Every structure is written in structure tokens, then in C-alpha cells.
Amino acid sequence: MQDDYTNHSDPVPGADAAGVRTGEGAGVRQERPRFRPEIPDHPDRRRPAYRSRRRTPADRILPILLLALLALAGVGAGIGIGYGIWGYEAPYTVDLKAVKTPDWIEQKLLRKNIFSRPDVSMREVKNIVVHYIGNPNTTADSNQRYFDSLADQDPEKGGTSSSSHFIVGLDGEIIQCIPISEISYANGPRNFDTVTIEVCHPDETGKFTDASYDALVKLTAWLCEELKLDEKDVIRHYDVNGKSCPLYFVEHEDAWKQFRKDVKAAIKAQ
């Protein structure tokens, strides 16, 4: 090949010098490399002399394979990310922090403290738990102040831990003590995925006033709607750990069933 291109591309002017040298010793081919540096720039040089080796089938397949691998990796990553997002979100999609408290609920949030508002995030709500206060004829406001006063206990000495997200009062007033994006201390061991409602009552029977009952139905139905739950997810403290709370609904199973029916109707009416 070298011979070939040399013969074709040797410029005519250079032939003199070349001729002299070749004349001295015929066939002294070693001299030729002296001219080679000029050859690559010559416009007439034949490409085949400098062309890289022929492309093999492997050369053609390799980029395709690489592209295919990249595409596969891309699709795989896409599926992985998608699964990650949907797999995480699918079971529970309620943004608890985004739930806005309506104006018929008065917010009087407790001070953050280890005894009643531990400032622990709640990720998911599975049940709404109904309680009775157990302290006859006390108001929603006085019970809110009691929960807040627990903050004044000495953490070194320990003390009483208790609280509720909501308190329904004797006249149907509703006070919120803790955001539903945080846990309350009332439903152990289910504090981490339950919302608490405490209801005031006039006497030892634990039976709620009509005003309290109606407010409780309204509040529970609103929570079901916001938390994507239904009346079957509304339970008694008794169903969590066997406590006789709320007393009247534990002793009167039919009244409890009726309450759930009323909640169901209120959810539909919303």
C-alpha cells in the first residue's frame, strides 16, 4: 500500500531530488520516509492509505448495544422512581398538615411539652377514637386548660401524661388542642395512628347531651371525610384497650351502633 500511494502522490517538482538520490543506489527504499511527512497534507493523497481498519460487525453492534442498555437503564430507573413514589403514596395520601380546621372548631393548642403535646408527627390516621371525659359536668374549656397545665409538671420527676386532639363540650362547642398532624396521649398503644375525641358529659352515666352528641357526629363525619375514613373506622377507647370508655357507649352497644349510623348519614350529607 505504501508503494502504491507514493507512486501516485509524489509531486512532480520533488521528483528531481528524489531522482538524484534514487540514482545513487537503485532500490534504496529507506530514503523515502524523508518525504512522507509532506504526504499527509497533499490534497491528492488516497484515503485508503490512511483509513482506519475496516469496521467489523462488532463495531456496528456495540453502539446499538450501548444505546439499548442506556434505554433499558432509563426505563428501569423510571419504573423504579415511579414505584418508589406510588408505592409510598398509594396506601395513604392524606396530607395531615394540609387539613384546614373549619371555623366551627375553636383552636386552643396546648403548649408543646412531653406530658400532653409531645410534638411527635403523625404520618397516618387509621382510626378515630371516641372517649368520655370521665369527670362529670366539666367543660371543654376546663379540660383544655387541664391538658395544658400538664406542661408545668417536672419532667425529672415524671407525672401524668394525657391529652386529646379534640374536646366536645356540654353545649356542643368543640375545642382543638393538638393538630391532627401530631400525636395525642389518649389511645395507648395506638397513639401513633389515631385521632382522639374527648366528650364532656353532665353526670356519672356518661351519657352525652344532645348538643354534645350532635357536635360529635358533625366532628366525626368531617374527620372521616378529611382523613378518607368511614364510620367503621370510628372506634371506642374500649375497642383499643378494653377500658370502659366512653362508658355509655360501652354499656349500650345499640347506642354505639346508632352513633355509627348517624356518622355514616352525616358523611353522605356532606
CA triplet 124, 257, 264: central angle to 5 degrees? 55
Q: Binding-site residue total for Zn ion (CB under 5 A)?
A: 3
The region of 11-19, 89-97, 110-118, 125-133 touching Zn ion under the rule CB under 5 A is 125-133
234 vs 245 by CB, closer to Zn ion: 245
Q: Minimal distance in Å, beta carbon 131 to Zn ion?
A: 3
What residues between 229 and 258 interact with Zn ion by CB under 5 A?
Answer: 237, 245
Residue carrying the nine cell digits 460487525 = 57
Q: Which is nearer to Zn ion, 227 or 247 (CB)?
A: 247
Q: Does 131 bind Zn ion (CB under 5 A)?
A: yes
**Binding-residue pattern over the window 191 to 230 for Zn ion, x denoting contact by CB under 5 A:** ----------------------------------------
Q: Where are the alpha helices (DSSP H) in 122-252?
A: 140-149, 210-227, 237-241, 247-251
d(C-alpha 4, C-alpha 85), whole Å: 66
Nearer to Zn ion, 45 or 243 (CB): 243
For the chain, the C-alpha Rg in angstroms (whole number) is 42
d(CA 59, CA 76): 26
Closer to Zn ion by Cβ: residue 134 or 202: 134
Distances (CA, A) of 102 to 171, 193, 233: 18, 22, 21
Tell me: does residue 122 bind Zn ion (CB under 5 A). no
The site for Zn ion (CB under 5 A) is made up of: 131, 237, 245
